[in-house]
Amino acid sequence: MKRSLSLASGIAFVLLAGVLHGQTLWPGTTAGMSVGQVQRMLPDAHEPEKAIDLPAGRGTELLDLDSIVIADRKFKVRFFFKQEQLVNVTLVATGEIDEKEFETFRDLLRAKYDREYSTTSGMGIEVKWKAVQTVILLTWAPPGHEQGSGTLAISYEAPIPKETDRL
């Protein structure tokens, strides 16, 4: 019973991460928010010890949340900004993730966003959904993988809205 309750709370959390309108990234955050706006929404968010950059200049990590729990798994949350505006929120699981747990998170995302539009596998698995303009990306490297053994990340990325796109 306890397992089903935590799974249900995990599903509820992922559902909250859904698109309220085209630019929603992660609960309470939308593309284009400033660092200050994100900090007001999430007071525990702080500057990272060592900021990282997304590939191809898509953004720089300027805020972190150390630990949240989704479906009994701890995640670190990273907030990436470009031109001082939020463009990406990435959740990175702590600890090793096996295939069964990866499938649980894939199924949670499928429950919210329906079938993915893209799945790529090779050294790991990358699954993509698109909700309006937000791209949701689930990546997993299996245990024993040389680059991040048993790692799982969920990212929400959207373009910075133009002034004409804002409501």
Between residues 143 and 5, the one the model is more confident about = 143
Cα separation, 95 vs 78, whole angstroms: 16
Mean of pLDDT over the chain: 83
Which of 99-113, 115-129, 146-160 has the weakest average pLDDT? 146-160
Largest CA distance in the chain: 49
**pLDDT value of residue 43:** 94
DSSP 67-119: EEEETTEEEEEEEEEETTEEEEEEEEE-S---HHHHHHHHHHHHHHH-S-SEE
Per-residue pLDDT tens digits for 119-147: 998 888 999 999 888 999 999 998 876 65
Q: What is the pLDDT of residues 43-82, one digit of tens each?
A: 999 999 999 999 999 999 999 999 999 989 999 999 999 9
Half-sphere exposure of 144 (CA within 13 A, CB side): 2
Pairing mode of beta strands 73-82, 85-93:
antiparallel
pLDDT class for 14, splitting at 50, 70, 90?
Answer: very low
Please state the rounded mean pLDDT for residues 143-161.
Answer: 81
Percent of the chain topping pLDDT 90: 63
Q: How many CA atoms lie within 13 A of 127 on its CB side?
A: 18
Map out the domains of the chain with their CATH numbers.
2-165 (3.40.1000)
